[in-house]
Amino acid sequence: MAYILRRLLLIIPTLLGILIINFVIIQAAPGGPVEQMIAKIEGFDGATSRIAGGGAEVSVAGSNYRGAQGLDPALIKEIERMYGFDKSAPERLWIMIKNYATLDFGDSFFRDAKVIDLIVEKMPVSISLGLWSTLIMYLVSIPLGIAKATRHGSQFDVWTSSAIIIGYAIPAFLFAILLIVVFAGGSYFNWFPLRGLTSNNYDELSTLGKIFDYFWHLVLPVTALVIGNFATMTLLTKNSFLDEISKQYVTTAKAKGLSNHKVLYGHVFRNA
């Protein structure tokens, strides 16, 4: 219990450190949102190259932005205020941390909505994909890793290693496209839906139908997410078990007459 509490308490300074490092890196990077907005106002198609080349000459305090000649200083001040650059860096950092602590992520410049509302809107999909992909990965990888450790060097070990390494080598997005083309595009099979978490008639389905429809929509995206993660967890489990199996306490447990299943899951599993 004490270990869990220590790990939970470490989350706060860890997140704070990540926020500060992220803020410093973004502030030190050349260019910025004010430069980009000025470039858009002036109508330059080559804004990116100019921003990259002139970021070091930006002075937020005096609004001395490259390419800003001829623009109304009041307009530049308004752009600075819109993005928060009318304040000092320490003040911006404090405001950012305070807003994050109260779950105030501001407004989206692209969707014209609060960021927290956009997050809540997409949260069911993110939770569904993350939860089921993680659960399936552990449920498959750990038993597979144990089976590979107990059959180390066998044909089963060689073939499964080849399969999971091939899956690891294929980028997730490419595998997802392949799944869509084969199983959802209609060119070969049309077994799964192309998009969405539920069907349009979801509310009209029975309880059992809703459950089936939900998991039916998850099959392809979850498969694409987990296929590349099998290798790391499976090989980690295998190597951890191989290290433990060779230790003296395993030999002693077997000499006492314990079954192979009890030795593996009652002793080795806890230590691995």
* Structural domain includes residue 208: yes
> For the residues 149-170, what does the mean pLDDT come to?
84
* Structural domain includes residue 73: yes
- Are residues 168 and 246 both part of a single domain? yes
The predicted model scores a pTM of: 0.63
* Structural domain includes residue 47: yes
| DSSP conformation letters of 136-179 | HHHHHHHHHHHHHHHTTTSHHHHHHHHHHHHHHHS-HHHHHHHH
Instruction: Pick the closest to residue 118 from 103, 133, 136 (CA basis).
Output: 103
- Are residues 185 and 155 both part of a single domain? yes
Instruction: Pick the closest to residue 169 from 116, 249, 229 (CA basis).
Output: 229
- Are residues 144 and 220 both part of a single domain? yes
Contact 159, 234 (CB under 8 A): no
* Full residue range of the structural domain in which residue 205 is found: 119-271
- Are residues 147 and 249 both part of a single domain? yes
For the record, the structure tokens of 44 come out as 């330059």
pLDDT tens for each residue of 48-100: 444 444 443 444 444 555 555 556 777 778 777 877 787 888 888 898 888 88
Q: How far is CA 122 from CA 3, 217, 258, in A?
A: 33, 15, 50
* Structural domain includes residue 113: no
Backbone phi, psi, residue 238, to 5°? -60, -50
pLDDT tens for each residue of 167-203: 888 888 888 888 888 888 767 888 888 888 888 888 8
* Structural domain includes residue 91: yes
- Are residues 45 and 137 both part of a single domain? no
Mark 36-69 as b/e (b = at least 16 C-beta within 10 Å): ebbbeeeeeeebeebbeeebeebebeebebbbbe
Provide the 8-state DSSP code for 265: I
Counted domains in the chain: 2
The position carrying tokens 């470490």 is 10
Distance of alpha carbon 119 from alpha carbon 105, whole angstroms: 10
- Are residues 98 and 74 both part of a single domain? yes
- Are residues 168 and 253 both part of a single domain? yes
- Listed residues 104, 136, 170: the one ending a domain: 104
> For the residues 208-224, what does the mean pLDDT come to?
88
- Are residues 16 and 93 both part of a single domain? yes
* Structural domain includes residue 111: no
Quickly state the pLDDT bin for 224 (edges 50, 70, 90). confident
pLDDT tens for each residue of 3-55: 788 888 888 889 889 989 988 888 887 777 777 777 777 665 444 444 444 44
* Structural domain includes residue 16: yes
Contact 224, 179 (CB under 8 A): yes
- Listed residues 70, 104, 138: the one ending a domain: 104
- Are residues 125 and 250 both part of a single domain? yes
- Listed residues 79, 104, 129: the one ending a domain: 104
* Structural domain includes residue 153: yes
- Are residues 225 and 147 both part of a single domain? yes
